Amino acid sequence: MSQAPPLRKVARRQCLRLSGIDWGTYSRLLYAFAEKPSIHLAYDRGELEIMSPRLDHDDDGRFIGRMVLVLTEELGLPVKAGGSTTLRRRLKRRGIEADDCFWIANARRMAGRRRLNLRTDPPPDLAIEVDVTSSSLDRLGIYAALQVPEIWRLEGDLLTFHVLGVDGKYASATHSHAFPQVTPADLFGYLQMARKADDENTVIRQLREWIRKRQGAQGGP
């Protein structure tokens, strides 16, 4: 009887949580960490969390971001990449920095924008979070308050899609909202290949071929 392959061992990101932090202090800390973009801050009504990165975390996050860009290119969709841009609203008393984020449906509304202001600008259509099990904050609650339509979360060997509902809460989804023909399993297979590949471009070429075949089968352009 064959055995299932072992799960990939994941070391958690280091995380520091501080309580009783006002908005002004949070804003000053954002400025202080501006030269260290790999350090991510999350803020939820007085609770502040500071997360440090790991190499494997960064590798996974970057490759998922590459897949998003390839999907938009192959499907003929506009895109504005936001990286780990800080998403925050003082009125909501919440802020967060995703591992990556993208404007897709709202990409054209962000044309020429150099600074994000969520009072007037749309939130990103898609945010990516990698290895946040060490977080003690309700990160999905923060994204929901900021009205981010979709979150992709990777925890070790599990990729999940979460779509914001009309009730203001996220529900696990079998397909992406931004890319309705794509499932978590579709993309995770390519991520696994990238983890082992000597050349990620080889995996990206296979992803492009898969998208084109899927489009052809569905009568796409």
- Please report, as a single letter, which amino acid is at residue 35: E
Burial class of residue 219, CB neighbours in 10 A (0-12, 13-18, 19+)? exposed
**pLDDT confidence of 209, banded at 50, 70, 90?**
very high
Please state, for a pLDDT cut of 70, what percent of the chain lies above it: 90
Residue 76: left (phi > 0), alpha (psi -120 to 50), or beta?
left
Mean pLDDT of the chain: 90
pLDDT recorded at residue 220: 56
- For the stretch 61-83, pLDDT in tens is 999 999 999 999 999 999 999 99
pLDDT of 4 strictly over 90: no
Q: Are 174 and 183 in contact (CB under 8 A)?
A: yes
- For the stretch 158-203, pLDDT in tens is 999 999 999 999 999 999 999 999 999 999 999 999 999 999 999 9
Please give the Cα distance from 218 to 221 (Å, whole number): 9
**pLDDT confidence of 8, banded at 50, 70, 90?**
very low
pLDDT of 55 strictly over 90: no
Tokens of 62: 């970057």
DSSP for 149-206, please give it: SEEEEEETTEEEEEEE-TTS-EEEESS-SSSTT--HHHHHHHHHHHHH-S-HHHHHHH
Q: Are 66 and 208 in contact (CB under 8 A)?
A: no
- For the stretch 92-105, pLDDT in tens is 999 999 999 999 99
Burial class of residue 104, CB neighbours in 10 A (0-12, 13-18, 19+)? buried
Please give the Cα distance from 126 to 176 (Å, whole number): 10
